[in-house]
Structure 1
Amino acid sequence: MVKIFTPALLTAALVGAQITTPDSPLAYGNLTSLLDTILARGYINVGTTGDYKPFTYLVTNQTSLPDASSINTTHIGADIDAAQSLSNALGLPNPPRLIRTAWANITSDLAAGKFDIAMGGVSLTLARARSVFFSTPVQRVGKTACVRCADAAKYPDLASLDQPGVKVVVNPGGTNEAFDRANLKSAMIVLVEDNNAVYQAILDGEADAMISDRIEVELQARIHTGELCIANAEPFNFEELGYTVPRDIVWKHFVDAWVHVQLGSGAWNATLEKWLNYKWPAV
């Protein structure tokens, strides 16, 4: 059927069409994005836990810095370098300001405006995605068990770990604890506040296993060659790491564009490999 427009209907249609003309700004065009705030401020606030090698590590008096000039003197790691790369991409005159957070507080601290972005091996979870935005993922991982090499054959899967008398150590508040509580019903879950000390607990015989992202377990196996080993050949689940930002779509789009360039150019892989090969302290 051919529709016939009367003058009145045609006028109404033209008035409605004016809403989408190029001269009319989009609804969010009049809003100030966090991106604008960061550019005006001159630096980026980065939340990081400082306890997740190879992504973020708080420098102590015992830490030997890399031979190459370190970008930051308080923290080191792949995502600390990435924070500076993001700052450079923004053209900011000042280095990133690193703000300590805890795994249990990442989303609440971000929502409270304590920092602009959380970096440091943050797992993408639906629970976190309810209150914050995630960037494009930078790394695919998955939960993997780290055990003493002498016991590796005893724990090939989750069922063998989830037995009475088995002690699984974990840092509280993050996806590692959430995974343990969801999947381990018979094993004893032992909480250790310092994520840097959990693997020492296995070495000392105070725990039998630690379940974490595969990349962290691989690094610990490198650091403690012949002492700590990966128990399961394939990760227990599917998981990705990325960066979290407040629910600001303009800022998220910029971060996504930067991540896209980092991945496509190979810069991220080069940075990660650098820190995987770094001579990390034992704890």
Structure 2
Amino acid sequence: MALHIETPLLASPSLSAAAGRTVWLKLESLQPSGSFKLRGIGVACETYVRQGKLRFISSSGGNAGIAVAYAGSRLSIPVTVVVPESTTARAKALIRQYGAEVIVHGTAWDDANALALSMLGDDAVLLHPFDDPLLWSGHATLVDEVARSHVRPGAVVLSVGGGGLLAGVVEGLRRNGWDDVPVIAVETVGADSLAQSLDAGRRVTLDAITSVAKSLGARQVSEQAFAVAQSHPVRSVVVPDSAALAACERLLDEHRILVEPACGASLALAYDRADVLAPYDNVLIVVCGGATATVDDLRRWAQPSISGGA
């Protein structure tokens, strides 16, 4: 039995009115771990158990680490999650809630990942947060569920960090015969490694993540995400932190669902009736979730001194 659940797909009257077209929400925020990450992480963890692995190691400051911790608790496998110093106290508490060990190391995910890699042994395996074919296959089940519901999206809107969700959704579109359905890939200013890479024609490594959307904080997108962004109809959009935060607040008011700014970035396109949506009806937004943000966090990040007024 899969570790993830089938999540609701619903048409949002408020977002549809704001966007001027039908907007569907795939509510991945309702996964047991709080985000879509559990789809791919669950597939990977179950695969590695069958291969005889006895310990899971994760390098994640947030949702992937929580998903690994949850999977480990369900599979009775010990988990160590290495997180950077920027990881919130809430994220660390949620990881520990599932019995995982938390080690804090470095100022960014890259530092945490380097330590995690050094901890591997014959019986341990690293669960990468976004760059693993097993993850992409697991994330693709999201599209399988949409296809079974007989809703054919005119476009899929999703947020991009390292690009695992993008790679998985494109895989899902292709295996359901929806090769022509475009994906609108959304990032925030200061966490826009995909947009900068597409502009440059090569993968760009950001000097630092300056956005409040830390879940989008991969300084470089995966090779697979960069490749599918060029082989599939993908449009890259970058929004300011302020738009992402405002979208989080509106979703909370209208749907009683709290998500992180990383997810708010995608919702912002509908709330702001972005021109990029103009050609499409039946727009599907992946509400990717994020359990590490609180209402107080959103309010604090919205202060001009924090978000830069962006």
Please report the TM-score for the alignment, with normalisation by the length of structure 2.
Answer: 0.26
With a CA cutoff of 8 Å and minimum separation of 6, indicate the structure with the bigger relative contact order.
Answer: 1
Rg comparison, structure with higher value: 1
Tell me which protein shows more strand as a share of its residues.
Answer: 1
Tell me which protein shows more helix as a share of its residues.
Answer: 2
